[in-house]
Amino acid sequence: MSRISRHQVLKRLQAELPRGGPFDLSVLARFGVSPQLAAQYAEAGWLVRLGHGVYAFPNDDFDIFGGLKLLQNRVAGLHIGGKSALALQGVRHNLGSTESCVLWGDKRYTLPDWFTSRFPSRYCHARLFEWSDNELATKTLTTPPGLPEHVVVACPERAVLELLYEVGVKQSLEEARNLFDGLRSPRKQVLGNLLSCCTSVKAVRLYLTWARETELVDVDALLEDFPVRTGSSSRWMTRLDDDTLLSLNPQG
């Protein structure tokens, strides 16, 4: 490719590629940029190489949402979940500025260094729900007001179950309870459907137990109206990583 042609391609990139986020070779290929040409642009300072096959424009200080846009195109079901999703929707407890962003997705994945070095994050992959309705998985993901339209966040009813799943592993019981206390008026249909799909006995029973204690929902009515997965009729017990003994009744 001649120097003039390379310059024309570069001008088109600068004019048509939106700022505020990285892009990869699949995007560059749509502009006729090969991996070799991308490397040449980076060497000349027209692009910045962030990681393997990932580039950005120089001095383009993108935020975590700009980075997520690229990752969401790579990982099925990737969304902000658990504690981070609750915080974005007004449910928080002593959230520090250095708190890691909790991300969930539908497949095993290792967050790239270019992302985690800029935005402290951790990724969780678990088959937390067996979706009886494929639409439910989509309906329980949302974009809260004030966020870019491409950013996908678990709704509060889903986020709290993701939070409770991590209790005793990545999440302390005390903080989880404090966050649970901040919940307000869950949508009964959404909650009932999620509890019916949730595969984690710990998460389901914790939710029912704390919901009874806080009177967040009418647990008995919920159990009557939905086939909630509470596990066996036996008390469920486990010792958490901090040596706390967690004991949960079948129906809270």
Same domain, residue pair 15 and 139: no
Same domain, residue pair 175 and 236: yes
Same domain, residue pair 132 and 46: no
Same domain, residue pair 153 and 235: yes
Same domain, residue pair 19 and 78: no
Query: Residue 246: beta bridge partners?
Result: 238
Same domain, residue pair 12 and 90: no
Instruction: Per-residue pLDDT tens, the chain, 252 aa: give them.
Output: 555 477 788 889 989 998 999 999 999 999 999 999 999 999 999 999 999 999 999 999 899 999 999 999 999 999 999 999 999 999 986 655 568 999 999 999 999 999 999 999 999 999 999 998 779 999 999 999 999 999 999 999 999 999 999 998 899 999 999 999 999 999 999 999 999 999 999 999 999 999 999 999 999 999 999 999 998 877 877 777 777 778 788 887
Q: What is the pLDDT of residue 167?
A: 94
Same domain, residue pair 25 and 89: no
Domain with 173 in it: 64-248
Pair of tokens at residue 204: 């389901």
Same domain, residue pair 96 and 180: yes
Same domain, residue pair 106 and 29: no
Q: What is the pLDDT of residue 7?
A: 79
E strands, 125-198, where?
A: 141-142, 153-154
Same domain, residue pair 76 and 201: yes
Rounded Cα distance, 161 and 197, in Å = 11
Nearest one of 74, 82, 78, 64 to 148, comparing CA atoms: 64
pLDDT, tens digit (0-9, with 9 covering 90-100), for 15-69: 999 899 999 999 999 999 999 999 999 999 999 999 999 999 999 989 999 999 9
Q: What is the pLDDT of residue 3?
A: 54
Rounded Cα distance, 102 and 180, in Å = 17
Same domain, residue pair 230 and 154: yes
Same domain, residue pair 32 and 104: no
Domain termination residue (choose one: 56, 75, 98): 56
Task: Judge contact between 186 and 157, C-beta under 8 A.
Answer: yes
Q: What is the pLDDT of residue 252?
A: 78
Domain count along the chain? 2
Task: Report CA-CA distances (Å) from 161 to 2, 6, 174.
Answer: 56, 51, 15
